[in-house]
C-alpha cells in the first residue's frame, strides 16, 4: 500500500534530468557494491556471517536476533562485486575499489565512493584508515600526485569561480596571487599536517595512460552533513569552531549539484592535501555513543576535483579558453552509522542526530529504489533527491554520468545481526541501480592539436639546450608537427528518426576536414619549399665543410708528423737528462763522501792541535820553574863567564905584557915549546874513546887550561879551548853521535869534551826507523823522518833530517810526502876563527853549530837569526 502511494507521488514529481530512455544498455554501469567484513573484537563473539565465495556471503540469524523471532532461522545469501574477508588489508581494498575511480578521475570521469554500514563496522577505518595503515582517501591523494606531479599547472592558473566552475588565469595573474599567498604564509599560517597519514613514496605506483598534453590542478573540499545541514570543514577561521555557517546546495549551469560557497583549496602535493584533510578532521563533530567511543554522527564528504586543460600548440601554456576545461571529481563519503535509535540508547540531542542520520540514509535508500524502478520498468518516476542533503548533493551521479561504488562494512558479530541485515538488503538493492557511463573526449584533438606536443616540446627544448652552438638558441619548434585533421568521425549509425541530423553532422565534419586538409596542403607546400632551400643551403655548406675538412686533414697530418718528431727529440732529451741526473747523483754522493772525509780530517786536525796545545801547556806548567831556574843558572854562568873572560883577558893582557917583556929578553922560543907541550898533554888527557878525534881540535878539548896562553898558542889550531855542546831548542835533548849518552840542550852540567850532537826525535808521531810497513800505516804516526850523517866536503860532520807527512792512501796504505829537510852541521871553530880573523882581524874563538833547513825560503836577516843558533861558550 505504502509503496503504491509513494510511487504515485514520485510520478507526480518528474525530474528534469536526462531521460534514461536515451541511454542504451551498454552505456550504463551498475553501482558496484563491495562488502568488507571487519575482524571480530573478542574470541567469545559468535559470527553470523560466512563467506562462501569471493563474492557471496551467508547470514544466519542468531537466536537473539529480532528477525530470528519474526522469520525463523532463515539463512540469507548476499552477492557482491567482491567480498573482503576480515584479513584483507587496506591496499587490497584500495586496489580493487578505489584505484579504478582514481584512473577514471584522471581521465576526466566523475566517481563516487561511499562506505555504508552499522556503527563500528569499519567505515572510517576503510575510508581514512589509521596512522601507519592508511585507508582509501590518503592512498587516492598519494597516487593522484604521483601520477600528475610533473604535469601540474602553476598554482592559481585555474581558479574556482564560486559557481562550481573554473576560470583560467594568465601566468602573470597567477604569479601575483602566489606572491600574495606567500606573504600570507609568512605572516603566520599554522601547519595542520598529520604525518601519520602520509605514505612512503615507494608504496605507490603511477597510473598509466595520463594525457600528457594537459595541465592539471587538484582542488579539495571537505564538508560535513550533520543534522541535515551542510558545513564547510575547510572554511577560513579557527581550527575548532562551534558555529560553522550552514552551506546550501545549488545547481550550476551544467546542472551539476554543488555546495555553494564551499572552500576549495588548490593543492600541489599529497602533503598539502593531508593538511587540509587533517584540518577538516579536527573540525568534524564527533560524538560519543555507548556503541563506539569515536562513532561518527555525521556524513563527511571529501571531494577531489581535478581540473585539466590542454596546452597550446607549443606544448607550454594552457589554452586560455574555458570551453576546453575538463573537470572531474571524486567524492569520498563516509556515511554515519546506520543503527537504530533504540539500540544505541540515545536521548535528546543524540536522539535527534540519530533520527536525522536514519532519515538521510532512508532517503538514500528510497532514491536508489526509485532509480532502480525507473531503470528496470522504464518509468520516469521522480527520485526524491532533495529530501536529504546527501542525496541532493549526489543527484548528478545518478542522473548524469559517473562511476558509483559502495563499500558495505559489516561487523559479523551476532549482536549486530538485525542492523547488518538491513544494510545487506540495501546493498543488494543498490547493486541493481545503474549509472550512465561517462564519456571522455580529448579536447586537444577536437581543436586540431596533435597529441604528444608537450613531450615533443620538452624534448626539443632539451635537445636545443644540449647543442653548444650559439645559433641553436634561436631555433624554434616547427608547429607543423602538431597539426592534425581534427577529431574522429562522428557516429555513423543511422536510425530512421535521426538520419538527416547525422548526415548533416557528417557533412559538416567532412567540410571541416577538407578545409583543414587544404590548409595543411598549403602549409606543406610552403614547408616543402623551405625545406628545399634549406637542403640547398645545407648542400652548399656541406661542400664548404668538406673542402675545409680536407685542408684541415692535411694540416693535421703535418702537425702529427711534427708532433712525432718532437716526441722523438723529447724522448732522446729525456734519456740524456736521465743519464745526467744519474751522474749528478753519483757526483753528489762522491762530493758528500769527500766532504765527510774532509770533515773527519779537519776534526782530527783540530783534535791534534788541541792535544798539542794541551801538551804544550802541561809541559810549560811542568817545566816552568825548571826553565826559570835554568835561566837563572844560565845568567849566573854567563856572569861567571863574563867575569872569567875578563879575568882571562886581564891575565892574557898580563901574559901578553909578560910575553912582550920576555920577548924583549930573548926567551921567546922556550916559552912557545912549553905551551905546545902543555896543549898536547891536555888534548891527550881529555880525549875519550868513541869521540871524533878529527873534530876535536886541541883548544876545544882544554877549555879551562891552567897554563896561561901565549898569543901563538891562541893562534894555532891546537890551542887549548873548551867546547860547549850545541843545543837544538826544538828538542829537549840530543843524543850524542856515538849513541851512548844523552845531552841536554840546555845542559846543567858540563858536557864532556869532544861530544858530537845528534838530534833526537823521540816523539810518538815520528817514525825514524822503518822496520815494518805498519809503522807508517799506523794511524798514531803522522810524521816521518829519515836521518843521514855523512862527512861534508870540508870533512865536517853533516847530519840531515828528511822530514815528511804520513798521508793515508785510498787503498788503506800510507804514503810519505817529504816536505822539509833539516841539516845540522859541525863547523870547526878554528877554521871559522881563522877566516873571521882574516876578515875582522879579531882573535875571538868560536864553536858553532848551524842548523839549515833545506826547503826554507831565502834567508832574510830576521829568519836567519831564527834559524841559526850559535852558542858561544
Ligand atoms: N577491517 C578492519 N580491520 C581492523 N580493524 C578494524 C577493521 N574495521 C574496523 N576496525 C576497527 O573497528 C573500530 C571501529 O571502526 P570504525 O571507526 O571505522 O567504525 P565506523 O563504522 O566508522 O563507526 P561510525 O559509524 O561510528 O563512524 C576501529 O577501532 C577500527 O580500528
Residue 793 lies in a domain: yes
Residue ending a domain, among 394, 426, 444, is 444
Instruction: Say if CB 823 and CB 854 are below 8 A apart.
Output: yes
Cell numbers representing residue 523 in the block:
602549409
Does 366 share its domain with 458?
no
ipTM greater than cut 0.85? yes
pLDDT at 709 over 60: no
Q: Which atom of ligand 1 is nearest to the CA of 38?
A: 1
Q: Is 124 annotated as a binding residue?
A: yes
Residue bearing the CA closest to ligand 1, atom 1: 38
pLDDT at 832 over 60: no
The helix (run of H) or strand (run of E) holding residue 547 is helix 499-665
- Each residue's pLDDT tens digit, 643-655: 888 888 888 888 8
Does 428 share its domain with 456?
no
- Each residue's pLDDT tens digit, 116-145: 998 888 999 999 888 788 899 999 999 999
Residue in the structure block whose three cell numbers are 538491513:
422
Q: Which atom of ligand 1 is nearest to the CA of 409?
A: 21
pLDDT at 532 over 90: yes
58: CA distance to ligand 1 center in Å?
22
Q: Which residues contact 354 (CB under 8 A, 6 or more apart)?
A: 297, 339, 341, 344, 346
Interatomic CA distance for residues 350 and 358, integer angstroms: 12
Cell numbers representing residue 323 in the block:
570551453
Distance from chain centroid for Cα 271:
33
Residue 594 CB neighbours (<10 A):
10
Residue 420 lies in a domain: yes
Sequential DSSP letters for 224-272: EEETTEEEETT-SS-SS-S-PPEE-EEE-TTS-EEETT---EEESSHHH
Q: Read off φ and ψ for residue 871, nearest 5 degrees.
A: -100, 115
Domain extent, residue 32, equals 2-444
Mean pLDDT of 467-480: 61
Interatomic CA distance for residues 47 and 388, integer angstroms: 34
Q: Is 117 annotated as a binding residue?
A: yes
407: CA distance to ligand 1 center in Å?
13
Cell numbers representing residue 340 in the block:
537504530
Supply the CATH number for residue 783's domain. 2.60.40.4330
How would you class 462 by CB atoms within 10 Å of its CB: exposed for 0-12, middle for 13-18, buried for 19 or more? exposed
Residue in the structure block whose three cell numbers are 543534522:
227
Q: Which atom of ligand 1 is nearest to the CA of 128?
A: 18
416: CA distance to ligand 1 center in Å?
14
pLDDT at 843 over 50: no
Q: Which atom of ligand 1 is nearest to the CA of 37?
A: 1
> CB of 129 closer than 6 A to ligand 1?
no
Interatomic CA distance for residues 85 and 601, integer angstroms: 106
Does 687 share its domain with 826?
no
Supply the CATH number for residue 288's domain. 3.40.850.10
Mean pLDDT of 161-165: 86
For residue 73, give Cα distances in angstroms to 113, 419, 424: 34, 16, 17
Instruction: Say if CB 100 and CB 112 are below 8 A apart.
Output: no
Residue 198 lies in a domain: yes
**Mutation pick for ligand 1 pocket among 124, 128, 226, 295 (CB with most ligand atoms within 8 Å):** 124
The helix (run of H) or strand (run of E) holding residue 822 is strand 814-826
> Could you say which DSSP state residue 97 is in?
I
> CB of 294 closer than 6 A to ligand 1?
yes
68: CA distance to ligand 1 center in Å?
26
Q: Which atom of ligand 1 is nearest to the CA of 127?
A: 18
Cell numbers representing residue 358 in the block:
536514519
Cell numbers representing residue 494 in the block:
543511422
> CB of 300 closer than 6 A to ligand 1?
no
Residue 517 lies in a domain: no
DSSP reduced 3-state for 440: coil
Q: Which atom of ligand 1 is nearest to the CA of 289?
A: 26
The conformational region for residue 89 under phi > 0 = left, psi -120 to 50 = alpha, else beta, is beta
Instruction: Say if CB 367 and CB 384 are below 8 A apart.
Output: yes
Does 440 share its domain with 466?
no
851: CA distance to ligand 1 center in Å?
137
Q: Which residues pair with 49 in a beta bridge?
A: 59
- Each residue's pLDDT tens digit, 224-256: 888 788 888 888 766 555 567 788 898 888 888
Q: Which atom of ligand 1 is nearest to the CA of 295?
A: 26
Residue bearing the CA closest to ligand 1, atom 14: 120
> CB of 122 closer than 6 A to ligand 1?
yes
121: CA distance to ligand 1 center in Å?
5
Number of structural domains the chain divides into: 4
386: CA distance to ligand 1 center in Å?
30
125: CA distance to ligand 1 center in Å?
5
> CB of 292 closer than 6 A to ligand 1?
yes
> CB of 413 closer than 6 A to ligand 1?
no
pLDDT at 531 over 80: yes
> CB of 38 closer than 6 A to ligand 1?
yes
Residue in the structure block whose three cell numbers are 567524492:
331
Q: Which atom of ligand 1 is nearest to the CA of 126?
A: 18
Q: Is 122 annotated as a binding residue?
A: yes
Interatomic CA distance for residues 218 and 264, integer angstroms: 9
- Each residue's pLDDT tens digit, 168-222: 888 888 888 888 877 766 555 555 555 555 555 555 677 887 888 889 999 999 9
Q: Which atom of ligand 1 is nearest to the CA of 337?
A: 25
Residue in the structure block whose three cell numbers are 569561480:
161
**Mutation pick for ligand 1 pocket among 120, 281, 284, 354 (CB with most ligand atoms within 8 Å):** 120
Does 68 share its domain with 104?
yes
- Each residue's pLDDT tens digit, 503-527: 888 888 888 888 888 888 888 898 8
Does 411 share its domain with 456?
no
> CB of 121 closer than 6 A to ligand 1?
yes
123: CA distance to ligand 1 center in Å?
6
pLDDT at 717 over 60: no
Residue whose C-alpha is closest to residue 355's, from 227, 224, 225: 227
Interatomic CA distance for residues 594 and 579, integer angstroms: 22
**Mutation pick for ligand 1 pocket among 38, 116, 196, 408 (CB with most ligand atoms within 8 Å):** 38
Residue 545 lies in a domain: no
> CB of 289 closer than 6 A to ligand 1?
no
126: CA distance to ligand 1 center in Å?
8
Residue in the structure block whose three cell numbers are 605506483:
205
Interatomic CA distance for residues 350 and 353, integer angstroms: 5
* Mean pLDDT score across all residues of the chain: 74
Residue 780 lies in a domain: yes
Residue 535 lies in a domain: no
> CB of 337 closer than 6 A to ligand 1?
yes
Does 652 share its domain with 786?
no
DSSP reduced 3-state for 757: strand
Does 457 share its domain with 439?
no
**Mutation pick for ligand 1 pocket among 93, 118, 119, 125 (CB with most ligand atoms within 8 Å):** 125
The helix (run of H) or strand (run of E) holding residue 408 is strand 403-410
Query: What sign has the CA pseudo-torsion 257, 262, 266, 269?
Result: negative
For residue 430, give Cα distances in angstroms to 308, 767, 828: 32, 138, 166
> CB of 299 closer than 6 A to ligand 1?
no
Three-state SS letters, 575-625: HHHHHHHHHHHHHHHHHHHHHHHHHHHHHHHHHHHHHHHHHHHHHHHHHHH
> CB of 119 closer than 6 A to ligand 1?
yes
Instruction: Say if CB 393 and CB 249 are below 8 A apart.
Output: yes
Residue whose C-alpha is closest to residue 230's, from 259, 258, 251, 252: 259
> Could you say which DSSP state residue 771 is in?
S
| Percentage of the chain exceeding pLDDT 90 | 21
Residue bearing the CA closest to ligand 1, atom 26: 295
Residue 662 lies in a domain: yes
Estimate the crossing angle of helix 2-12 against helix 348-377, to 10 degrees: 70
Mean pLDDT of 41-53: 86
Within 13 A of 544's CA, how many CA atoms are on the CB side? Answer: 6
Within 13 A of 191's CA, how many CA atoms are on the CB side? Answer: 6
Greater pLDDT, 804 or 38: 38
Cell numbers representing residue 374 in the block:
525507473
Interatomic CA distance for residues 437 and 455, integer angstroms: 30
Mean pLDDT of 471-482: 57
Residue ending a domain, among 433, 464, 482, is 482
Interatomic CA distance for residues 801 and 818, integer angstroms: 10
Interatomic CA distance for residues 345 and 594, integer angstroms: 117
Interatomic CA distance for residues 788 and 801, integer angstroms: 7
342: CA distance to ligand 1 center in Å?
21
According to DSSP H, which parts of 666-690 are helical? 668-686
Number of residues assigned to the chain: 873
Residue bearing the CA closest to ligand 1, atom 11: 122
- The pLDDT score that the predictor gives to residue 544 is 94
For residue 855, give Cα distances in angstroms to 61, 793, 797, 820: 148, 21, 20, 6
Does 346 share its domain with 236?
yes
> CB of 194 closer than 6 A to ligand 1?
no
The helix (run of H) or strand (run of E) holding residue 9 is helix 2-12
Interatomic CA distance for residues 155 and 175, integer angstroms: 8
pLDDT at 109 over 50: yes
Q: Which atom of ligand 1 is nearest to the CA of 117?
A: 21
pLDDT at 446 over 50: yes
Interatomic CA distance for residues 258 and 87, integer angstroms: 37
Residue bearing the CA closest to ligand 1, atom 8: 122
Q: Which residues contact 239 (CB under 8 A, 6 or more apart)?
A: 190, 192, 279, 282, 283
Q: Is 542 annotated as a binding residue?
A: no
Q: Which residues pair with 401 in a beta bridge?
A: 436
Residue in the structure block whose three cell numbers are 588489508:
89
Does 210 share its domain with 244?
yes
Strands 56-59 and 49-53: antiparallel
pLDDT tier for residue 352 given thresholds of 50, 70 and 90: low
Does 181 share its domain with 287?
yes
**Where in 15-165 does DSSP place strands (E)?**
28-30, 32-37, 49-53, 56-59, 76-79, 82-84, 111-117, 129-130, 133-134, 158-160
- Please list the helix, strand and coil fractions of the chain in percent, rounded to the nearest 5, in that order: 45, 20, 35
Q: Is 118 annotated as a binding residue?
A: yes
Q: Is 341 annotated as a binding residue?
A: no
Interatomic CA distance for residues 215 and 183, integer angstroms: 26
pTM: 0.55
Does 848 share its domain with 862?
yes
- Each residue's pLDDT tens digit, 64-103: 877 777 777 788 899 999 999 999 999 999 999 999 999 9
234: CA distance to ligand 1 center in Å?
24
Lowest mean pLDDT among 12-26, 317-331, 416-430: 12-26
Residue 124 CB neighbours (<10 A):
21
Q: Which atom of ligand 1 is nearest to the CA of 36?
A: 1
Interatomic CA distance for residues 57 and 84, integer angstroms: 10
Amino acid at each position: 500500500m505504502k509503496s503504491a502511494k509513494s510511487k504515485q507521488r514520485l510520478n507526480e514529481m518528474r525530474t528534469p534530468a536526462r531521460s534514461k530512455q536515451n541511454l542504451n544498455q551498454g552505456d550504463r554501469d551498475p553501482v558496484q557494491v563491495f562488502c568488507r567484513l571487519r575482524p571480530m573484537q573478542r574470541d567469545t563473539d559468535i559470527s553470523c556471517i560466512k563467506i562462501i565465495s569471493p563474492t557471496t556471503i551467508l547470514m544466519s540469524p542468531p537466536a537473539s536476533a529480532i528477525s530470528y523471532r519474526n522469520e525463523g532461522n532463515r539463512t540469507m545469501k548476499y552477492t557482491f562485486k567482491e567480498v573482503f574477508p576480515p584479513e584483507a588489508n587496506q591496499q587490497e581494498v584500495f586496489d580493487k575499489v578505489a584505484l579504478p575511480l582514481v584512473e577514471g578521475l584522471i581521465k576526466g570521469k566523475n566517481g563516487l565512493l561511499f562506505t555504508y554500514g552499522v556503527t563500528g563496522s569499519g567505515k572510517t577505518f576503510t575510508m581514512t584508515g589509521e596512522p601507519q595503515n592508511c585507508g582509501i582517501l590518503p592512498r587516492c591523494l598519494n597516487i593522484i600526485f604521483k601520477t600528475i606531479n610533473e604535469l601540474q599547472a602553476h598554482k592559481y592558473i585555474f581558479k574556482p569561480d564560486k559557481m562550481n566552475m573554473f576560470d583560467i588565469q594568465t601566468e602573470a595573474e597567477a604569479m601575483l596571487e602566489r606572491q600574495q599567498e606567500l606573504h600570507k604564509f609568512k605572516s603566520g599560517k599554522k601547519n595542520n599536517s598529520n604525518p601519520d597519514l602520509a605514505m612512503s613514496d615507494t608504496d605507490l605506483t603511477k597510473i598509466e595512460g595520463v594525457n600528457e598534453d594537459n595541465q592539471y590542478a587538484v582542488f579539495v573540499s571537505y564538508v560535513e552533513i550533520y543534522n541535515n545541514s551542510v558545513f564547510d570543514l575547510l572554511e577560513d577561521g579557527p581550527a575548532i569552531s562551534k558555529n560553522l555557517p550552514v552551506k546550501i546546495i545549488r545547481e550550476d549551469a551544467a546542472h551539476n549539484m554543488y555546495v555553494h560557497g564551499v572552500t576549495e583549496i588548490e593543492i600541489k602535493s599529497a602533503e598539502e592535501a593531508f593538511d587540509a584533510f587533517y584540518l577538516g578532521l579536527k573540525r568534524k563533530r564527533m560524538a560519543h555513543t555507548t556503541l563506539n567511543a569515536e562513532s561518527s554522527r555525521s556524513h563527511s564528504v571529501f571531494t577531489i576535483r581535478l581540473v585539466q586543460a590542454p596546452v597550446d600548440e607549443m606544448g607550454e601554456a594552457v589554452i586560455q579558453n574555458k570551453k576546453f576545461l575538463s573537470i572531474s571529481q571524486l567524492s569520498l563519503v563516509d556515511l554515519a552509522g546506520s543503527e537504530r535509535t533504540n539500540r544505541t540508547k540515545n536521548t535528546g540531542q543524540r536522539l535527534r542526530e540519530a533520527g536525522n542520520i536514519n532519515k538521510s540514509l532512508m532517503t538514500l535508500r528510497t532514491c536508489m529504489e526509485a532509480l532502480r524502478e525507473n531503470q528496470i520498468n522504464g518509468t520516469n518516476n521522480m527520485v526524491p533527491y532533495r529530501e536529504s542533503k546527501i542525496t541532493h548533493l549526489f543527484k548528478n551521479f545518478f542522473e548524469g554520468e559517473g562511476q558509483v561504488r559502495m563499500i558495505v562494512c559489516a561487523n559479523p558479530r551476532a549482536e549486530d545481526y538485525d542492523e547488518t541485515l538491513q544494510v545487506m538488503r540495501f546493498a543488494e538493492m543498490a547493486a541493481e541501480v545503474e549509472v550512465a557511463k561517462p564519456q571522455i573526449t580529448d579536447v586537444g584533438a577536437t581543436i586540431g592539436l596533435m597529441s604528444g606536443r608537450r613531450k615533443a616540446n620538452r624534448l626539443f627544448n632539451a635537445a636545443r639546450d644540449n647543442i653548444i652552438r650559439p645559433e641553436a638558441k634561436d631555433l624554434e619548434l616547427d608547429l607543423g608537427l602538431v597539426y592534425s585533421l581534427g577529431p574522429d568521425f562522428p557516429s555513423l549509425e543511422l536510425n530512421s528518426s535521426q538520419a538527416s541530423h547525422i548526415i548533416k553532422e557528417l557533412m559538416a565534419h567532412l567540410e571541416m576536414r577538407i578545409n583543414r586538409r587544404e590548409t595543411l596542403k598549403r602549409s606543406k607546400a610552403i614547408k616543402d619549399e623551405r625545406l628545399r632551400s634549406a637542403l640547398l643551403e645545407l648542400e652548399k655548406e656541406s661542400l664548404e665543410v668538406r673542402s675545409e675538412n680536407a685542408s684541415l686533414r692535411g694540416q693535421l697530418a703535418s702537425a702529427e708528423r711534427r708532433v712525432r718528431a718532437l716526441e722523438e727529440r723529447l724522448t732522446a732529451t729525456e734519456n740524456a737528462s736521465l743519464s745526467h741526473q744519474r751522474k749528478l747523483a753519483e757526483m753528489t754522493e762522491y762530493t758528500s763522501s769527500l766532504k765527510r772525509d774532509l770533515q773527519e780530517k779537519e776534526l782530527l786536525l783540530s783534535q791534534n792541535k788541541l792535544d798539542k796545545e794541551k801538551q804544550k801547556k802541561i809541559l810549560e806548567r811542568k817545566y816552568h820553574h825548571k826553565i826559570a831556574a835554568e835561566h837563572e843558572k844560565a845568567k849566573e854562568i854567563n856572569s861567571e863567564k863574563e867575569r872569567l873572560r875578563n879575568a882571562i883577558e886581564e891575565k892574557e893582557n898580563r901574559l901578553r905584557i909578560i910575553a912582550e917583556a920576555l920577548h924583549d929578553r930573548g926567551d921567546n922560543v922556550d916559552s912557545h915549546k912549553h905551551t905546545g907541550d902543555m896543549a898536547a898533554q891536555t888534548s891527550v888527557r881529555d880525549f875519550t874513546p868513541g869521540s871524533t878525534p878529527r873534530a876535536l881540535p886541541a883548544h876545544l878539548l882544554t877549555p879551562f887550561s891552567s897554563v896561561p896562553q901565549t898569543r901563538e898558542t891562541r893562534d894555532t889550531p891546537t890551542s887549548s879551548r873548551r867546547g860547549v855542546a850545541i843545543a837544538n831548542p826544538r828538542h829537549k835533548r840530543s843524543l850524542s853521535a856515538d849513541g851512548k849518552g844523552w845531552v841536554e840542550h840546555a845542559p846543567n852540567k858540563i858536557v864532556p869534551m869532544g861530544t858530537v850532537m845528534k838530534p833526537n826525535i823521540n816523539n810518538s808521531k815520528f817514525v825514524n826507523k822503518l822496520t815494518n810497513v805498519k809503522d807508517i800505516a799506523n794511524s798514531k804516526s803522522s810524521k816521518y823522518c829519515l836521518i843521514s850523517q855523512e862527512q861534508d866536503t870540508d870533512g865536517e860532520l853533516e847530519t840531515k833530517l828528511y822530514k815528511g807527512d804520513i798521508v793515508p792512501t785510498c787503498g788503506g796504505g800510507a804514503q810519505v810526502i817529504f816536505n822539509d829537510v833539516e841539516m845540522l852541521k859541525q863547523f870547526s871553530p878554528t877554521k871559522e876563527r881563522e877566516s873571521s880573523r882574516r876578515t875582522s882581524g879579531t882573535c875571538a874563538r868560536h864553536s858553532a853549530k848551524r842548523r839549515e833547513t833545506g826547503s826554507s825560503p831565502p834567508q832574510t836577516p830576521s829568519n836567519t837569526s831564527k834559524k841559526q843558533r850559535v852558542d858561544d861558550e
